[in-house]
Amino acid sequence: MKPTSLTRYAWLSIAAAIATMLLKSGAYLITGSVGLLSDALESLVNLAGALMALAMLTVAARPPDEDHAYGHSKAEYFSAGAEGALIVIAAVSIAVAAVDRLLHPRPLEQVGLGLAVSVVAALLNLGVALVLMRAARAHRSATLQASSHHLMTDVWTTGGVLVGVGAVVVTGWLVLDPLVAIAVAINIVWTGYRIVRDSVAGLMDAALPRREQGVLHDLLRKYATAEGIDYHALRTRRAGAHRFVSVHVLVPPEWTVQQGHDLLERIEADIRRALPPVTVDTHLEPLGDPAAMRDAGLHRDD
């Protein structure tokens, strides 16, 4: 699937955010519950995040150009980071409203109708979150992953609010409504933190996950055993859905350039098959050459 097709998931997220925001706002107006207000505010953040996701997925889909030889995939991390920040802002807004209601409690109205509307909104969010989660895994999209996590958080938020409002009805303790809203705000902050953390890791060129690095080492060791070669300076990073791998391959000094080139072609092809999509850069060096060993680590100073 081409990267541009991922924008359809952003449009799906936008539609879901608008629908759930309207539903939850209606639930708040019906009941007057600050817990339901917190739920509606999070849906507003969902909408802002979905719009940001649409913009960044569009940018990320652009092909490499003269000024961006490695493509535009990192644009996805800006979307994920912005969405995480918006989540934290929403949590602060929810906490402020909850504290005010804690200090000035008020009875709830038409709770049954309000809760029914919120349940419909939660089911809508759940369905869209599952679709986005599958798409994020299939296409290794940081943006869709952040959006799916955000929507799932919204589902859990709604569940918590429903429990809190229901408890108010059963016990008559109005204080439970703002307390649940505060608990929701704390949970939202944690989700926002995780999204921002993952986004920063991508922008800082963090290495591929251990499992994927293990795939690379296993593949290279098989060549080392079969061909009598060695390798070092394996470097990896990820930009959005795309991986980048570079490695130095050391071959016997008596090999011809053609032999070394053919080996590198096979290695690169195997890596592309093992971890698509990936850009692979290899560097050929002779075994036993002291100069070749000076760049065995991640950095070479001379």
Topology of 3-203 in CATH? Answer: Alpha-lytic protease prodomain-like (1.20.1510)
Q: Which residue has the tokens 């795939």?
A: 215
Helices (H), 172-209: 176-203
Q: Which residue has the tokens 């992953």?
A: 145
| pLDDT reading at 270 higher than 70 | yes
Give the distance from CA 262 to its chain's centroid: 38
| pLDDT reading at 256 higher than 90 | yes
118 contacts 155 by C-beta, under 8 angstroms: no
pLDDT for the residue 265: 97
- Full-model pTM: 0.60
52 phi and psi angles, rounded to 5 deg: -65, -40
State the chain's maximal CA–CA distance in angstroms: 87
Helices (H), 32-141: 34-60, 75-103, 111-139
Domains of the chain by residue range: 3-203, 210-293
Please provide the average confidence, as pLDDT, over all residues in the chain: 81
Confidence of residue 108 (pLDDT cuts 50, 70, 90): low
The helix-helix angle for 34-60 and 75-103 (nearest 10°) equals 170
Q: Which residue has the tokens 């994920």?
A: 80
For residue range 125-141, what is the model confidence (pLDDT) as tens digits?
899 989 988 888 887 77
For residue range 76-85, what is the model confidence (pLDDT) as tens digits?
777 777 777 7
Residues 274 and 212: their CA atoms lie apart, in Å, by 9
| pLDDT reading at 42 higher than 60 | yes
- pLDDT, mean of residues 56-67: 80
| pLDDT reading at 302 higher than 60 | no
CATH 3.30.70.1350 matches 210-293:
yes
pLDDT for the residue 4: 47
For residue range 236-245, what is the model confidence (pLDDT) as tens digits?
988 776 789 9
